[in-house]
Amino acid sequence: PPPHTPHRPSLAAATPGPLPTSLLLLARHHQPVGARGISGTAVRRHLDDFFQSRSLADQDGNPTFPAVGRAWKAEELRQKSFEDLHKLWWICLKERNSLAGERHQARANGLVMMNPTRWRKIRKTMSRIKVVLGERRRMTLYLARQKRDEERSEARLEAKIRRASRPSRKPEGRRQRKQGGPR
């Protein structure tokens, strides 16, 4: 039997009003993302990534907001692989875009954004990811320079040893001429 493909609602059905053709084409080529081990956020697709889920409401219909933790510390990020940092960067970027959409929506309605500390936490995490990646890059460059300098000094030493151990091939008459002065 053919492999099961999950049903994805079309982007046009999920959003009100007409959409640009480029967004519809993008939605057609979008591949489902597997489980994310680094994030506890719900997997959402398309334009829903930029807004809080409408299903996050209490019994009275008032919006509820997920409990958020603290920003990642640099010491914690140093323990992560490049792939994990890359995933975390994109998760933070999506969250930052989502928060920007919420802030824009709140300002348009004359409201104050709920839980504004999330914005600062995301920015701190992203800047710390950049710091950790910069540290790794500088260390890689330092080690490469150190290795190159060691190889160059070894090559100079080997060349010096080769020159010192080579027998002289200069004719005797030529040496005498140099000692005797110009011709």
Kindly state the average pLDDT of the residues 122-144. 97
Instruction: Check whether 128 has a pLDDT greater than 50.
Output: yes
The reported pLDDT for the residue numbered 164 is: 87
The pTM is what? 0.56
The reported pLDDT for the residue numbered 68 is: 77
Instruction: Check whether 14 has a pLDDT greater than 50.
Output: no
The reported pLDDT for the residue numbered 126 is: 97
Summary mean pLDDT of the chain = 74
Question: What single string gives the DSSP state of each residue in the chain?
Answer: -PPP------HHHHSSS---HHHHHHHHTPPPP---SS--SPP--GGGGGS--TT-B-TTS-B------PPPPHHHHHTS-HHHHHHHHHHHHHHHHHHHHHHHHHHHTT-PPS-THHHHHHHHHHHHHHHHHHHHHHHHHHHHHHHHHHHHHHHHHHHHHHHHHSPP---HHHHHHHHH---
In tens, the pLDDT along 30-57 reads 344 443 445 455 555 666 655 555 445 6
- Is residue 173 very low, low, confident or very high in pLDDT (cuts 50, 70, 90)? low
Instruction: Check whether 123 has a pLDDT greater than 80.
Output: yes
